A and B are shown apart, each in its own frame.
Chain A
């Protein structure tokens, strides 16, 4: 039995949009070094949970506690401060800058480490050059790790979907995350790419020492890769268990297949 330490602690999370309750009294805990899958039918509120965790939505009820260096309530942190606490995310629809090179897109992920200001940038002071050099080096190492180093000077625009997904992961890794939140990483990938992504996620966990929370519709992928699976439906908690138990869980079966 390996020692479990909680990293993310969500308690009684409720998020309402008008009279629609997207997330309804959801509580769960994610332990360090786990790969956790969040599943549920379309419209179950998965992305809303992500947006609450990363503070894109602020007016949720309940609490989200994060045990990074110290325990803190994420609500006290502005959306731009979340990444500094070690939570980096990717997006369901690719959110990259199409007319910047892949390298520069990855460098955007290092923005939290940019300590120099605009005046330094205008004057190109040595301080800025030094900082930029360190960031580029780090970005290149990440690109090498993801095997897309040879594409670093190409524009993102026109790259295949699989590459863009990798660039998003690279950008998240650039922020030295302890928790990576992946929104549908396997969507739109073919079987070969999905297998590759599986290996990649293990490697990210081991080499970058991170915890991974992901949303995915590809059940084979989720059941293969995840240590724990959290199933929700209509914003309500269904089950939180190992993949094997989740597959056998009557409520989950009902949510996906319907009632007999």
Chain B
């Protein structure tokens, strides 16, 4: 009897050590664990909280994905784009156009999303050509006006409802004859869970890019262009690639937005303001940090939306408080909010050594 329990324990132990070893060896699995936690959290909010909170969280996830793409551009490749939000809008409007904007297409969601994503990425590639000619503030201004042009196009044409937000349809038809509701319960929670899957995929893709020869090339072209050239790294190729990936991630954000909110979003929403906010996510979260994008997105889009709104005496001042908070985060964490985790770790080690010292002192006595 006792022997059996021991073997069970041993087996359990060996399994856990195996799993822990796998987690330690594969950093990608951390993102999957975070995704599972987010799903659990979504379930809890859905059961105990209000549906609107799920929507706020979905926005956080969407902008975290977009920021991950922008981070590759800004943090790793040293380039800047102020047209990020416009590219999100381009994808949502593209999906709308392909689904019900023009009768000749009337595609279902998945093909429409894929075509819109590819189109947006190609436009991003085209904008990347600008980065071959200019850098820094000049590139920022040029992309600012690219974004401006895109939103003005939404306002100019009836197909885009003159820049007003449009509903994509009452039910999502994934493929011809395949309804969304035939697979998943058609509620906000299942949509949220799909967004979490997108986020985890985005994390893993960016992680894999950064920790590869391509990632090194992105760093090389931004930190020392001459060395990159001398080592056979084509600055042109990697700049274009960086722009294309960043735009593709903005497009992915657009797909997520279209899927969850089932609207295109207005031209005003996809303006410069949001682009700057996404830029702020990258800076507040920490350039070159991947987790920082989720943290930064939470700080910028999450905290003003629901935490401050719950505090009654702050009503009406949420955005001001949020702004102040962001200023403080930048003041104390210039390398990004991702460093908060670093500091917590430091505190934990301090606590551990303090415990050890106390124990040692105790034993001496």
Contacts and interface: CB of A to CB of B under 8 A. Distances in A.
Interface of A: 54, 56, 79-84, 88-89, 91, 95-100, 104, 107-109, 111-112, 114, 116, 118, 121-124, 128, 131-132, 135, 171, 175
A121 B204 CA distance: 11
A80 B217 contact: no
B230 interface: yes
B224 to A, nearest CB: 4
Interface residues of B, number: 24
A109 B205 CA distance: 24
B241 A108 contact: no
A100 B228 CA distance: 14
A95 to B, nearest CB: 4
Contacts of A112: 231-232
Contact of B233 (A95, A108, A121, A132): A108
Contacts of B288: 99
Contacts of A128: 212
Contact of B231 (A56, A116, A118, A171): A171
Interface of B: 205, 208-209, 212-217, 219-220, 223-224, 226-234, 241, 288
Given A171-B231, A175-B231, 13 more contacts: A56-B230, A80-B232, A89-B230, A91-B224, A91-B226, A95-B227, A97-B227, A100-B216, A100-B223, A114-B213, A121-B209, A123-B208, A135-B213
A24 to B, nearest CB: 24
Q: Give the 4 A-B CB pairs with smallest separation, nearest first.
A: A121-B212, A95-B227, A95-B224, A97-B223
A171 B213 CA distance: 14
Most A-side CB within 10 Å, residue of B224, B227, B232: B232
Contacts of A107: 213, 216
A116 B226 contact: no
A121 to B, nearest CB: 4
A111 B223 contact: no
A82 B229 CA distance: 9
A5 to B, nearest CB: 25
B254 to A, nearest CB: 20
10 contacts: A80-B233, A80-B234, A91-B230, A107-B213, A108-B231, A111-B233, A118-B214, A121-B209, A123-B208, A128-B212
Contacts of B213: 107, 111, 114, 116, 121, 131-132, 135
B356 to A, nearest CB: 26
Contact of A98 (B217, B223, B231, B241): B223
